[in-house]
Amino acid sequence: MASEGALMRGKVCMITGASSGIGKETAKALARMGATVVMVGKSSERGEGAKREILTQFPNASLELMAVDFSTLEAVRGLASDFTSRHQELHVLMNNAGTIPAKREVSTDGFEMQFAVNHLAPFLLTNLLLDVIKLSAPARIVNTSSGIHNRGKIDFDNLQAERGYSLFGAYGRSKLANVLFTYELAQRLKGTGVTANCFTPGMTKTDLGRHIRGPSGFFFRHMGKSQEEGARTAVYLASSPEVEGVTGKYFSNCREVQSSNSSHDEGLAKRLWEVSERLTGLS
Ligand SMILES: NC(=O)c1ccc[n+]([C@@H]2O[C@H](COP(=O)([O-])OP(=O)(O)OC[C@H]3O[C@@H](n4cnc5c(N)ncnc54)[C@H](OP(=O)(O)O)[C@@H]3O)[C@@H](O)[C@H]2O)c1
């Protein structure tokens, strides 16, 4: 086996949400292993800061930065086309960007913000990049979900949460969508050499609660694992030979674990896929 320092040499990885938290630590680890890492963040300033931090620690890291706001699907399309105009290969796509706004917000395209940024944006990005990912096989898609997906419910009659909105209800729903998307994607990718898995990082001290006042915001900043620990399962799924060929699974602490019952509802996953295709203009 190659030493960890060379494990990802020659691999191109795109990580969304790489300007901060779990995504930044994953970018750092994969760059340290020799990968070319395309770091995607919302703010170019935070992205530049993250890139500088990694280069300070690993001056030979091969990093590219792209600042894209996932609250507009047009921007997601722009990211995919910028990427494919510059790169012919993508070996790892990590869909990790996530947000929890302080109150119900609506994206430029008119979707509830968490559904838009946490689910529709990665759904569209992945589909737009699938050709280049398949050409790069063996390749991996890694989606950052959360244990809170257990509490998520998908109600197709209230998909934009216009009625009965709750912050963590909408968050849980978007994280359930991440798991359903992963399982359906893995089915669709069978035989292509591309795997799709998802994971929960577990409670990790990050900026995820930056918009939330009170105890919940405090918890995100101060409780749980270090960011490096939070990123461990992401790094494992993106790089470890142990999970070569493993697909359609949910992980925690670098181990496959059971996701919720509703995440295994194949009818729900198919319907969500079709609705997401329609909402993102893919069909
Ligand atoms: N922290 C936890 O306890 C925990 C637990 C379970 C799951 N997760 C999941 O882990 C993932 C990473 O979150 P984190 O905890 O590392 O939080 P974080 O430090 O706040 O990082 C979130 C990342 O997402 C990006 N982002 C947010 N809104 C965006 C938008 N509209 N367009 C594009 N990018 C956007 C941010 O970019 P900017 O910095 O440029 O704004 C940042 O890079 C999320 O999917 C989250 O749901 C976290």
**The pLDDT of residue 4 is above 70:** no
Give dist(CA 124, CA 257) in Å, integer: 27
3-state secondary structure 259-282: CCCHHHCHHHHHHHHHHHHHHCCC
Atom of ligand 1 lying closest to residue 224 CA? 3
**The pLDDT of residue 113 is above 90:** yes
129 close to 84: Cβ distance less than 8 angstroms: yes
Does residue 41 line the site of ligand 1, with CB under 6 A? yes
What residue spans define the domains of the chain?
4-278
- Could you report the per-residue pLDDT of 123-151, keeping only the tens digit for each? 999 999 999 999 999 999 999 999 999 99
Does residue 178 line the site of ligand 1, with CB under 6 A? no
How many residues are there in the chain?
Answer: 283
Q: What pLDDT does 173 receive?
A: 98
Q: What pLDDT does 110 receive?
A: 97
Give dist(CA 193, CA 244) in Å, integer: 10
Q: What pLDDT does 2 receive?
A: 44
3-state secondary structure 192-246: CCEEEEEEECCCECCCCCCCCCCHHHHHHHHCCECHHHHCHHHHHHHHCHHHCCC
Atom of ligand 1 lying closest to residue 118 CA? 45
**The pLDDT of residue 194 is above 60:** yes
**The pLDDT of residue 1 is above 60:** no
Q: What pLDDT does 209 receive?
A: 85
Does residue 66 line the site of ligand 1, with CB under 6 A? no
- State how far the alpha carbon of 22 is from the alpha carbons of 97, 139, 154, 180, in Å: 9, 21, 26, 21
Give the full edge-to-edge strand order of the sheet including 250-252.
62-67, 36-41, 12-16, 92-95, 139-144, 194-200, 250-252, 255-257
Give dist(CA 148, CA 152) in Å, integer: 7
Give dist(CA 158, CA 154) in Å, integer: 8
Q: What pLDDT does 191 receive?
A: 98
| Residue 222 CB-density burial (10 A; 0-12 exposed, 13-18 middle, 19+ buried) | exposed
Q: What pLDDT does 267 receive?
A: 98
CATH 3.40.50.720 for domain 4-278: yes
Measured from the Cβ of residue 27, the count of other Cβ atoms closer than 10 Å reads 34
The amino acid that residue 38 corresponds to is V
171 is catalytic: yes
- Point out the least confidently predicted range of 5-9, 26-30, 36-40, 80-84: 5-9
| Closest residue CA from atom 7 of ligand 1 | 146
Give dist(CA 84, CA 88) in Å, integer: 6
CA count, 13 A, side-chain hemisphere, 30 = 35
| Closest residue CA from atom 45 of ligand 1 | 98
CA count, 13 A, side-chain hemisphere, 215 = 0
- State how far the alpha carbon of 105 is from the alpha carbons of 113, 116, 117, 194, in Å: 5, 10, 11, 34
**Cα–Cα nearest to 33, from 175, 234, 258:** 234
- Could you report the per-residue pLDDT of 27-79, keeping only the tens digit for each? 999 999 999 999 999 999 999 999 999 999 999 999 999 999 999 999 999 99
